[in-house]
Structure 1
């Protein structure tokens, strides 16, 4: 074989080896993307967290309303900033920090709502909601504050859970500050049985009765060391976008709660405070089997 032919074959082998290496690299990258895209089941949440990281320095909190802080009825936790949903003696607690304008929060809520309500109704889980207003600070506008105030007003009359769910189902685009309009918030409230007509609800929304409380809650978020919304903790341990090495999915959340509750009794105590019913879907029941608010 001539030297020229040997060189040609060597070059061909080298090209083939290079092509195989490039193919393997492409396949590895592709597999990585597939795993990343499917890790949270129906959501691409992990990336959304980064996109919604808090712009701490620019946000100025709530509407700056003057006057004392007026907390909603039935709140609890540190500084009375948590809105509780579920049996008060449920063995596990899910702590959720979220913003009604936050797209990743809506993704989380709309995907995990069925399993969260399932666990609430079974007395396995109670949820403590904390409201933040970071999108107002990052994007401009007042929709985060106005929606949070309206949700706090719904808590006053025992309708927080269904109204909370409704706001996330009807969340506008992040750049659309539709929730800044009280008229839109009241329009949505009209679709929750008994909410818009509840005594004091309309004036609470229009007057911004809980604006200072919302501002206080948002300040607690900004100083709490959180990186963005949603922030989700199960019994104090971060589970969003993953718990340890496991990505959050509805099935994993159910599994984690089951593991945490092993050997513990399900909760049966119905909260007496307004807005604390453990289920928000029509026809849902409390752990005692009575109709939910």
Structure 2
């Protein structure tokens, strides 16, 4: 019996010329396929090369802009970050001051009046101008001991670097940190008044420290130190304590660690003097 024709056997019934045409067509199709695959490989190689080049350019740009940013932050100061020491920082992040307004680790035995502030807090700036001088009178008379806690609860760059500088100077320039704190509050007022740029650099903060008489070698290392995450961690720890205490805003006034917000509910000009007088035992 004659077998049925199948596709595989169809060429057996072709003429010699037809078989040549089929072979030529297959060869043409294979060549086209090879050309397409070659083009595809070329496109993929080109795309990979472009992406690789862009990554290199981006990495170089990051390095260059980072270097420029660091240079702007450091200004003319060439120092390096100092070791984080907190001999003059209490467990709650406060810096105690003696009668000469020098940072100390020694408690005087009197009531401790503390103030939690942020350098970009407008209310803190007002408090520093109007009521901190009253606190100073009691502190320098030895009737109260003062404690300052500087935080960055507002999360600004100036708050963070400024607070780090406060703790840095409490350790390395304890006799100048009280003046520095006041000068930083003034700078905050200038920023809010738009009389100085808002984007204050680490070098600008070092200039403030220099203006209150901090020693040159201490000032020189200040920018690199306050940009160091280890010094900023000191600030973060103080903020954690602020939150743990249930405090919600700055300025927060405390007497022996307990917040007294009575001044926010009445006339501060009358209530704050009464708080200080009571704390002093008068």
CA distances 1:7-36 after superposition (whole Å, capped 9, x unpaired): xxxxxxxxxxxxxxxxxxxxxxxxxxxxxx
CA distances 1:152-207 after superposition (whole Å, capped 9, x unpaired): 11112212111001100121229987365102101211211134443744542354
1:107 Cα deviation from its structure 2 partner:
0.9
Task: Specify whether residues 92 and 253 from structure 1 end up closer, same or farther in structure 2 by C-alpha distance, changes over 3 A only.
Answer: farther
Task: Specify whether residues 152 and 103 from structure 1 end up closer, same or farther in structure 2 by C-alpha distance, changes over 3 A only.
Answer: same
Match of residue 237 from structure 2: 216
Using the TM superposition, name which of 106-115 and 203-212 deviates more. Answer: 203-212
For 2:249 and 2:213, how far apart are their aligned partners in 1?
Answer: 33
Determine helix, strand or coil for the equivalent of 2:246: coil
Say if 1:149 and 1:209, in contact at 8 Å, map to a contact too. no
Runs of 5+ in structure 2 lacking a partner?
1-82, 100-106
Match of residue 76 from structure 2: none
Say if 1:98 and 1:105, in contact at 8 Å, map to a contact too. yes
Match of residue 185 from structure 2: 168
Say if 1:119 and 1:254, in contact at 8 Å, map to a contact too. no
Say if 1:97 and 1:129, in contact at 8 Å, map to a contact too. yes
Larger-Rg structure: 2
Determine helix, strand or coil for the equivalent of 1:233: strand
CA distances 1:123-176 after superposition (whole Å, capped 9, x unpaired): 01112222221212xxxx422111101111111221211100110012122998
Task: Specify whether residues 217 and 122 from structure 1 end up closer, same or farther in structure 2 by C-alpha distance, changes over 3 A only.
Answer: same
For 1:227 and 1:102, how far apart are their aligned partners in 2?
Answer: 13
Task: Specify whether residues 259 and 77 from structure 1 end up closer, same or farther in structure 2 by C-alpha distance, changes over 3 A only.
Answer: same
1:190 and 2:210 aligned: yes
1:148 to 131, 153, 163: 163
Task: Specify whether residues 211 and 149 from structure 1 end up closer, same or farther in structure 2 by C-alpha distance, changes over 3 A only.
Answer: same
Determine helix, strand or coil for the equivalent of 2:163: helix
1:242 to 237, 252, 263: 263
For 2:201 and 2:240, how far apart are their aligned partners in 1?
Answer: 23
1:234 Cα deviation from its structure 2 partner:
2.1
Determine helix, strand or coil for the equivalent of 1:210: helix
1:104 Cα deviation from its structure 2 partner:
0.9
Task: Specify whether residues 202 and 165 from structure 1 end up closer, same or farther in structure 2 by C-alpha distance, changes over 3 A only.
Answer: same
1:76 to 71, 90, 93: 90
Using the TM superposition, name which of 173-182 and 228-237 deviates more. Answer: 173-182
For 1:177 and 1:241, how far apart are their aligned partners in 2?
Answer: 35
Say if 2:96 and 2:148, in contact at 8 Å, map to a contact too. yes
Task: Give runs of aligned pairs for residues 46-195 of structure 1, distance below 5 A.
Answer: 70-78=84-92, 81-87=93-99, 88-136=107-155, 141-156=156-171, 157-158=173-174, 159-171=176-188, 172-173=191-192, 178=198, 180-195=200-215
Corresponding residue pairs, total = 187
1:246 Cα deviation from its structure 2 partner:
4.9
1:211 Cα deviation from its structure 2 partner:
1.0
1:253 to 272, 275, 280: 272
Runs of 5+ in structure 1 lacking a partner?
1-68, 264-293
Task: Give runs of aligned pairs for residues 33-44 of structure 1, distance below 5 A.
Answer: none
Query: TM-score, normalised on structure 1?
Result: 0.56
Greater helix content: 2
